[in-house]
Structure 1
């Protein structure tokens, strides 16, 4: 089993220690470094080349959003999961638009973080269901005019996508092939004019395509 290397970026040492202890219980995850501010985070990413960065928003010297922007600007090859107390819509939107591959609240069940690490490593994005449910009441995504009607199967798939399921899990649940799932997801993206799973999930919830 391939090891997923993880860098922890949080200004609270006790938080980092807790996350490290949690992740070290997983056979396929290895914590290769810890940092306490944004400048150290960027330096560590260059030196250690982690697969995944667990990133807090509120950090000294350079905050998490600025770290995301730097990673995006320099095209550093790593996935970033924001793990924070912040559930403000503007911050969530800013993080996603600046390249966050995942967004989880620190109050969430620890199993979500493990799932998020595996999901983003596989090339997908993961947004915590509680965040998605909150976005339903927001204006995070405006309704778009002329959206094509999704088919019954596409509605089934987008509901499972909102739940954070992998393509294989969706395929197993619906008793169809993984390739068919990928084709349906591509169709969904095209119809609702989004480019990734996070945007699709938020759009689906905001526009009442699924119930939370």
Structure 2
């Protein structure tokens, strides 16, 4: 049986070397290339055809999530992608899942878990490190609750919330939306009740968390 071909993308050379030695020890895996940043990783993948990409999230030039996004946009993603990271924050995991990652494992996991993850995703299944799953489930439930809250808002209330979230006062919102200031005040009160917040700051956080506004513009 031919060895499973791997590419390792990580900006720390010691980690790449350690993974290479660990995985090649028994002859089951073969590291065919290494990348120290996201750009180099994409260049390698344009020339090589590995079975699995071991992908770190924090890398210079392009991070791991950017690499995953570009692989998806190419429309011809054949490689299985296993994120191998120090990040146990659920936001990174959620984003990776949204981008269609095949597996997600923390760097401090046992070598047996890493190998199991590789074999699982090669069999067409998704592998999320088991102790991360409760955190993922809890976050998904929270997100579903937020979706319900957003759906409860009228189009006008949504417009008010978006403008409130970028720091506009009631008078400014009224002028922009061509409605009375009293109407805006009533909308704000209804918004607070529907999304379960008590002030404008919490409402703004809710809007940002749910990508209702683009904070980069």
What is the TM-score normalised by the length of structure 2?
0.63
Per the alignment, residue 192 of structure 1 pairs with: none
Shift of 1:124: 1.1
Match of 1:116 in 2: 117
**Structure 2 CA distance for aligned equivalents of residues 142 and 112 of structure 1:** 30
Cα shift readout 1:171-201 (whole Å, capped 9, x = no counterpart): xxxxxxxxxxxxxxxxxxxxxxxxxxxxxxx
Classify the secondary structure of the residue corresponding to 1:33.
strand
Within 5 Å, which residues of 2 pair with 1:67-86? 67-74=67-74, 75-86=76-87
**Structure 1 CA distance for aligned equivalents of residues 67 and 26 of structure 2:** 27
Aligned-residue offset at 1:121: 1.0
More helix by share: 2
What's the offset of the Cα at 1:136? 4.2
Task: Please state if 1:131 is matched with 2:132.
Answer: yes
Q: Whole-Å Cα distance in 2 between the matches of residues 93 and 26 of structure 1?
A: 33
**Aligned pair count?**
145
Which residue in the other structure is 1:34 paired with? 34
Deviation, structure 1 residue 119: 0.9
Runs of 4+ in 1 over 4 A off after TM superposition: none
- Listed one character per residue, the Cα deviations across residues 137-196 of structure 1 (whole Å, up to 9, x for unaligned) are 434563799xxxxxxxxxxxxxxxxxxxxxxxxxxxxxxxxxxxxxxxxxxxxxxxxxxx
Counterpart position of 1:58 = 58
For residues 105-134 of structure 1, the C-alpha deviation after alignment (integer angstroms, 9 at most, x for no partner) is: 111111111111111111111110011133
Residue in structure 2 matched with residue 142 of structure 1 by the alignment: 144
What secondary structure does 1:67 align onto? helix
RMSD after superposition: 1.9
Distance in 1, matches of 2:55 and 2:140, equals 25
Give unmatched runs, 5+ long, in structure 1.
146-212
CA contact (8 A) 2:93 2:136 kept: no
**In the aligned structure 2, how far is the partner of 1:101 from the partner of 1:37?**
20
SS in 2 for 1:34: strand
**Of 83-92 and 54-63, the range deviating more from structure 2:** 83-92
TM-score scaled by structure 1? 0.64
1:3 positional shift: 2.1
- Quick one: higher RCO (CA 8 Å, sep 6+), 1 or 2? 1
